Chain A
C-alpha cells in the first residue's frame, strides 16, 4: 500500500511537472525581433517582406500562439539596424533576430548578433560575408550572390557552350559578388567576357555604354542595375537592337519583371521562387493566392523567403527549441524542406544554405502579372566556389 502511495505520489509529481511545462510552453510564444527596412531606400522590400511574414504569422498562430514578431524599423540604415538590434535584445527581450532584407543592414545586425550571441536568421540578404567562416549565430536562407554568378555561367553555357558575354551593372555590394562568381566560373567553363561595364550607384543614362557593348557583339548580356537603373539599362539594351533572349538578369522579383515590361518577353532571369512554377507545394500555391488577394500582386522570392522563415521557426519551436542555445542547435541541425517549394533547407557549418536557382524565361507581361516558364534548375554546394575569397 505504501509502495502504491509512493508510486502514486511520484506519478502525480511527474504529471504536475508535465502539465506545468505544457502550459508554460503554450503560453510563451517565441519572441522574434523583426529588424527591417520599413522606411528609407529599401522601404518596398522591407514592407513586402513584413507583409509575407505577417501572413505566415497569422497561419502559424492559428491554433495557439507560438511565434510573436516584435517589429522595429531600421530605416535602411546600418547604424540604426545595430541600435534596433540592441533595443530588441535588451529592452524587448526577444529570443532571436530576423527580418532584414538588405546587405548593409543585415551586416550590421550580423555584427550585433555574433558579438552578443543572439541567434539571427536572415531571410533575404545575399552578401556572402553574412556567413563567413567562424560565424556561429547567423543562418542565411537566401543563397549567396557569388553563386548567382556561378548559376548564370552554368545556364548560359547550356544555351550556347563557349558563348561570348557582355556584363553591364551598377556598383552594389551584391553585384560585385555576382560579378566575382561570374568571372571565376566563366574562366573555368570557357565563356568569354567581351565587355564589362560597371556604373556608379547614381547613374541615370547608359546610352554610350550600351553602344560599347553592342560594338562587341556578345551572344548574351548579363544586366543588373539597381532599382530604376535596372529598367533603364534593360530598355536601352533593347533599344539598340539586342533581342530579349540575349538578355539575362541574375535575379528577378515580381515587381522587377513587371517593370521590365512586355518588351522583355523572351528574356531570362534567375530566381529562387516564381509563382508560375508548377512544382510549388500546396502551401506554396495557397501562399501565392492569399498574398495576391491581400496585396494585388504575386509574391516573388523576397516575399517567399520571409513567409518561409516563419514556418521554419514554427518547425524548430515544435521541436522544443525556445531558448537561444536550443534555437542555434536546432538551426544547425535542421534538415527540412521549404514549405512553399519543397527545396531542402540545410545549413553548412557557417550558416550558409545549400545553393540553388531557377532559370526562368519570361513569356508574357501584363500590368499586374507575368508568366514565365522554367528553363532550368541548378543546385550546388556553396563549397564548389571559393566564395569568401571571391567576395571577402
Chain B
C-alpha cells in the first residue's frame, strides 16, 4: 500500500511538472505558428538560450533573481526583435511562406546551436542553477523540492495568464481573430503585420519563460534544445496550432503517459508510448485536437 501511494503521488507530480513545463514551451511555438504560419524550428534553441542566459546571469555572475530573470527576457526579446525585423517580416506577404520559414528557422537553429557550443560549451557540459529556494514540499509520502513546486506553479500561471489574455484583452482577441481567419481579420481593420510581430515576440517570451522554468526544475545541457524542439512540435500539432488549451491538454497527456508507462513498463518504452498516444489523438482529430 505504501509503495502504491508513493508511486501514485510520484506519477501525479511528474505528470504535472513535466506536462506544464513542456506545455509552456509548446504554447510559445503554437502562438507563433498559429498566427504567422511560422513553424519555428529554432524554438528549442531559443528555449535553451533562455536557460543558458539565466544560468550565466544567476549562477556564474551571481546576480540576484530580480536582475537575472528580467535580463534574460530582455536579451531574448532583443534577439526576437532583430530576427523579426531583419528576416521574418520580408516573408509576410507570401501566402506559402511556411516552408521558407521552416528552412530559415532550421538554419537559425543550427547557427544558435553552434554559438552555444562555441561559447557555453567550452565552460562546462552541465548547467545547473543554484536554486533560489531550498526545502521541500512534502506530499506524504513523497517530498518534492520547493524549486520544482515553484516551477510547476509558475508554469501553470503562465498558461492561465496566456489563456486569460487571449480571451479578455483587446490584443489577445485580435490575435485569436488572426488565428481563425487572417483575411476576415484584415477586413475588420486588424493590422495583421503588427499582430504577426507581436505574436512572434509574445511566443518567444513564453518560450523564454519555459527555458527559465526548466532550468529551475532540472539541469541543462546543450542537447536539451533539440529534444525540446521535437516534443513541443508534436504537442503543438496534436493540440492544434494556435491553441493554448490544446498545448496544455496534450502537454499533460505527454507528461502523464511518460510517468504511467515508466511505472508499468520502463522509461525507454515510455518515450515511445507518448508518441503512440499522440498518434492516436491525431487519428481522432487529424487537424489537431483544438484546431480551428
Q: Which residues of A contact B (CB under 8 A)?
A: 39-45, 47, 171, 197-200, 202-205, 207-212, 214-215, 226-232, 235, 239-241, 255-256, 258-259, 261, 367
Report whether A231 and B122 are in contact in the complex, using a CB–CB cutoff of 8 Å. Answer: no
Encoded as 1 (CB less than 8 Å from any A CB) or 0, chain B from 210 to 231 comes to: 0000100011111110010000
Closest CB in chain A relative to B85 CB, distance in Å: 29
Besides A208-B14, A255-B126, 20 more A-B contacts (Cβ < 8 Å) are A39-B114, A39-B121, A41-B222, A43-B121, A43-B122, A43-B222, A44-B123, A47-B122, A197-B266, A198-B266, A202-B227, A203-B271, A205-B14, A205-B18, A208-B262, A211-B7, A227-B219, A231-B126, A240-B142, A259-B219
**Considering only CB atoms, which chain B residue lies closest to A202 in the complex?**
B227
> In the docked arrangement, what's the CA distance between A261 and B124, Å?
14
**Considering only CB atoms, which chain A residue lies closest to B118 in the complex?**
A39
| A39: B residues at CB distance < 8 A | 114, 117-118, 121
> In the docked arrangement, what's the CA distance between A320 and B72, Å?
57
**Considering only CB atoms, which chain B residue lies closest to A40 in the complex?**
B117
**Considering only CB atoms, which chain A residue lies closest to B145 in the complex?**
A239
Q: Which residues of B contact A (CB under 8 A)?
A: 2-3, 6-7, 9-11, 13-14, 17-18, 62, 114, 117-118, 121-128, 130, 136, 142-145, 148, 214, 218-224, 227, 258-259, 262-263, 266-268, 271
> In the docked arrangement, what's the CA distance between A240 and B118, Å?
36
Closest CB in chain B relative to A145 CB, distance in Å: 18
Report whether A45 and B125 are in contact in the complex, using a CB–CB cutoff of 8 Å. Answer: yes
Closest CB in chain B relative to A102 CB, distance in Å: 11
| B7: A residues at CB distance < 8 A | 208, 211-212, 215
Given contacts A208-B7, A211-B10, contact A259 B126 (CB under 8 A): yes
**Considering only CB atoms, which chain B residue lies closest to A43 in the complex?**
B121
B-side interface mostly: helix
A-B contact count (CB 8 A): 122
| B148: A residues at CB distance < 8 A | 239
Report whether B266 and A44 are in contact in the complex, using a CB–CB cutoff of 8 Å. Answer: no
**Considering only CB atoms, which chain B residue lies closest to A199 in the complex?**
B267
Closest CB in chain A relative to B221 CB, distance in Å: 4
Report whether B125 and A198 are in contact in the complex, using a CB–CB cutoff of 8 Å. Answer: no
| A227: B residues at CB distance < 8 A | 125-126, 219, 221, 223
| B9: A residues at CB distance < 8 A | 211
Report whether B144 and A208 are in contact in the complex, using a CB–CB cutoff of 8 Å. Answer: no
**Considering only CB atoms, which chain B residue lies closest to A171 in the complex?**
B268
**Considering only CB atoms, which chain A residue lies closest to B230 in the complex?**
A202
> In the docked arrangement, what's the CA distance between A169 and B114, Å?
28
Closest CB in chain A relative to B23 CB, distance in Å: 14
Given contacts A41-B222, A45-B125, A205-B17, contact A211 B271 (CB under 8 A): no
Closest CB in chain B relative to A43 CB, distance in Å: 4
> In the docked arrangement, what's the CA distance between A32 and B127, Å?
33
Report whether A228 and B263 are in contact in the complex, using a CB–CB cutoff of 8 Å. Answer: no
Report whether B144 and A228 are in contact in the complex, using a CB–CB cutoff of 8 Å. Answer: no
Report whether A261 and B259 are in contact in the complex, using a CB–CB cutoff of 8 Å. Answer: no
> In the docked arrangement, what's the CA distance between A286 and B18, Å?
46
Report whether A41 and B266 are in contact in the complex, using a CB–CB cutoff of 8 Å. Answer: no
> In the docked arrangement, what's the CA distance between A256 and B125, Å?
9
| A226: B residues at CB distance < 8 A | 221
> In the docked arrangement, what's the CA distance between A230 and B218, Å?
10
Given contacts A39-B117, A203-B267, contact A44 B127 (CB under 8 A): no
Closest CB in chain A relative to B262 CB, distance in Å: 5
**Considering only CB atoms, which chain B residue lies closest to A75 in the complex?**
B117
| B268: A residues at CB distance < 8 A | 171, 198-200
> In the docked arrangement, what's the CA distance between A212 and B3, Å?
8
With beta carbons under 8 angstroms apart, the residue of A199, A200, A256 that contacts B126 is A256
Closest CB in chain B relative to A176 CB, distance in Å: 13
> In the docked arrangement, what's the CA distance between A243 and B127, Å?
23
| A212: B residues at CB distance < 8 A | 7, 10, 263
